Chain A
Amino acid sequence: MQKSTLNPNVLWPWTLILVLLIFLPFIIPRFYTYILAVIFVTALLAMSLNMVVGHGGLFQFHHAVFYGVGAYAFALMLMKTAMPMWVCFTVSPFIAAAAGFLIGWFCVRLANLYFAMLQISLGSLIWAIAFRWYDLTHGDDGLHGVPIPDWISSTSGAYYFILFFLVLCLIAMYIIYHSPFGTTMQAIRDNPARCSAVGINVRRHQLTAIVIATFFAGVAGVLFVVLEHSVFPDLLFWVLSLEIFIMCLLGGWFTFAGPILGAAVTVALRTFVGIYTEYWTLILGILLILLIFFLPEGVMGLFQRKLRNRRYEEGAPGKRRHAQG
């Protein structure tokens, strides 16, 4: 199933959803606009994690750190320097990516669980800095009232700003996913030893993937600040890392767009079930157990398999597409 980048069958539903999302804020109450924006930010974060977990096979267990680094970098630059907003906006994801490079450089030397353990410990170190360095970060209190320019400080302003960059990032991620780099990364996920036997420098490839993924996590962090006007250490706490990991599993980590669905479900649960009970995570837990037993490839994974089976039954018209070269 060799999907084309500009296959109209893929493009149509996405365009439709985008148009819907552009007009929704005119109809729905402000609170729902806000929730949608939260979903966008979380979805971008989960998507960035999935670039290394689902498509790269790396146990990036503490991905939220880079989200937090992006957010803190943006907030601190806006508050402590006179740099214009656009500069801060552009620089912050690169700082997150630099942190990703630093931690990734050590981690790619290890495999599987050891990778995960080192990643968690080094990530927690950065969390500890944000938590303890009171003079700079105000510790547990976080930083509030980050001066966001007026035109995006309203909920709907932030909504459109975030939506714009979400779409931009998703397009970039889609291109990377279908590029030789992305294809090679998926091959590394399936079988790293085989990849090095066909001449691929596996470690360098993995490190590049981590840097790219942490860059996008940084973008998500910046967008969070645009929406909330504040940062706090929870942004780089391991609990959040676990949550976004679950989103990837829930949506389908071998698919491209699965994590968006996972993020939407999780944020919706937290918002609407969280009103009634603080034990909403219990429902998430039960969902996860059901998922592992019945849909190990996630919700999107199930849809994709159904789609593939249907194509087979229809005599697979696209099957000989490579024949003419």
Chain B
Amino acid sequence: MLKVERLYKSFDGFVAVSGAELTVEQGQLVAVIGPNGAGKTTLFNLITGMLKADRGRVVFNGEDISKLPPHEVCRKGISRSFQIANIFHRLTVFKNVQVAVLSQQGKSGNLFRPAHRMAVHETNTILESVGLLEKADDLAGSLSHGDHRILEIAIALGNQPRMLILDEPTAGMSPDETAATMALIRRLAESQGLTILFCEHDMDVVFNTAQSIMVMHYGKTIIQAKPEEVRANKDVQDAYLGGEGDA
């Protein structure tokens, strides 16, 4: 479904991504791991068009999307959440998701119809599936940190994506919240057949959830394989798991 081929990106001489390779199959739950600064977020930014790659290709469903701006990548069916909660603070929770749904329906430019009657069902369905329906009328800025992260995912779902990219969905969460969020992600993958690509620091979370793991180190892909193979790989142990302490 998604194929990243030898991707390179540098900022003023600093090489953030140098030769990243990634394959995501339809319906798979794929994790990208690697130490801080390994280039995970940069890779996600390259895939979603937030950054332009220096070299290499991003192929989605047989189409090269590496030159497209973010909003067109999104229209191809790739939706993402951000590492730092990236929501619309002054809008209600309902509107946060509704904006994405309206965009997906191609109605964002409508000037004359009252928005409060549009896309209500779709928006509520998403809010219900992530458990935020109770807070639909709260201002997004007033939510707790955990709920911010959930709202992040809900906004990404608003586009009815074929593939969901989650950048550290559980960053800053308590163990309980982390477990609940990962359960939510697994549920989404199963019930909606969603393809999900995510990156994560918590190794337990990754090895329990992902069907395929890609390991990045200094912007380079070391390996992409099944969890047990990754665990057994010598290079990975040297580069990352061996160091430990990096929870």
Contact = CB atoms under 8 A, between A and B. Distances in A.
A229 interface: no
Contacts of A254: 90
Interface string B51-77: 000000000000000000111101100
Contact of A200 (B71, B90, B91, B94): B71
Q: Which 3 A-B pairs have the closest CB atoms?
A: A199-B74, A190-B88, A198-B100
Nearest to A189: B90
Contacts of A179: 110-115
B109 A205 contact: yes
B79 A197 contact: yes
A263 to B, nearest CB: 23
B71 A208 contact: no
A110 interface: no
Interface in A167-195: 175-176, 178-184, 186-187, 189-191, 193-195
A3 B116 contact: yes
Interface residues of B, number: 50
Interface in A1-39: 1-5
Please classify the interface of chain A as helix (H, G, I), strand (E, B), loop, or mixed, using the class held by over half of its residues.
helix
A325 interface: yes
Interface stretch (B7-15, B118-126, B214-222, B238-246): B118-126
Interface string A73-113: 00000000000000000000000000000000000000000
B26 interface: no
Given A175-B112, A198-B100, A198-B103, A323 B133 contact: yes
B170 to A, nearest CB: 19
A157 interface: no
Interface residues of A, number: 41
Contact of A198 (B79, B91, B116, B127): B79
Contacts of B74: 196-199
A199 B111 CA distance: 18
Given A178-B116, A181-B111, A323-B133, A194 B82 contact: yes
Contacts of A184: 99, 102-103, 108
B41 interface: no
A202 interface: yes
Interface in A244-280: 254
Interface in A225-253: none
A198 B159 contact: yes
A132 interface: no
B115 A178 contact: yes
Contacts of A2: 92, 94-95, 116, 137
A187 B104 contact: no
A129 interface: no
Nearest to B80: A197
Nearest to B96: A187
Contacts of B50: 193, 196-197
Nearest to A177: B115
Contacts of B75: 199
A201 interface: yes
